[in-house]
Amino acid sequence: MTMRIIPARLALVAAVVAVALVALQPPAADAASGKSVSFSKSWTFKAAPDRVCVVFTVSGKITYTAVSGPRGVVEWRNQRLTNPTLVASVHSYDRGSCTGRSTLTRLSMTQLWSGWSCSFNPSVSASLPWGLSFGGWPSCGNRNRARHGTSYGASSVYEQFNSGSPTGFGSYTGFPPSIPCYGVFVTATIYQHNVSDSFSSGAREVCLPAA
């Protein structure tokens, strides 16, 4: 009789200890994944009076960490605009078409970043030479923007290169397919001798998938 009771009691004690150990375990950490999205967005400015076309291209990538939580929620952290580059290529303008290479006397150009939709106003940070400003956004009125502008002399190709991660966006939490999408647009003033012309583009979209 005794030999049959002791194993049963030992088994019960072992089960209780096992449950207690499980209860003491810390909860599983949320799954985090480092990601990046590369982008290249272009606009063409046809300045007929100056007989030039200027093609503006913004490229680079946004790096971020997607953290998956309970019930499908995802948090986008450490969102950084990395190596954002703005290039302007100058071409001749002939009867509505952009043809061979041409030059400008001077050029000033700026790239500006914020949330893509008018209802999405993320917190934005910037480090020099970038800055923050409150001003116009295509179809949205005034809002906070990260911006960087540069000016140049005579040339046919202009490149505004920004090494590192000069701009960041605050964390975003949502349930996919709701994901954060950021927007960029370009403003510029071109000069041909004593004549100037200004350009302000529409916004282009860069979205950050969770997976």
Determine the length of the chain.
211
pLDDT score for 5: 42
Does the predicted TM-score (pTM) go above 0.85? no
**Which ranges of the chain have pLDDT less than 70?**
1-30
Listing DSSP states for the chain in one string gives -HHHHHHHHHHHHHHHHHHHHHHHSPPPPPEEEEEEEEEEEEEEEEEGGGTEEEEEEEEEEEEEEEEE-GGG-EEEEEEEEEEEEEEEEEEEEETTEEEEE--BSEEEEEEEEEESSTT----EEE-TT-EEEEEEETTTEEEEEEEEEEEE-SBSEEEEE--S--EEE--EEE-TT---EEEEEEEEEEEETTEEEEEEPPPEEEE----
Residue (of 66, 68, 64, 46) closest to 55 by Cα position: 46
**CB neighbours (10 Å) of residue 120?**
15
pLDDT score for 19: 37
Q: Using an 8 Å Cβ cutoff, are 39 and 58 in contact?
A: yes
Q: Using an 8 Å Cβ cutoff, are 202 and 183 in contact?
A: no
pLDDT score for 206: 98
Displacement of CA 81 from its chain's centroid (Å): 5
pLDDT score for 93: 93
Rounded Cα distance between 79 and 183, Å, is: 14
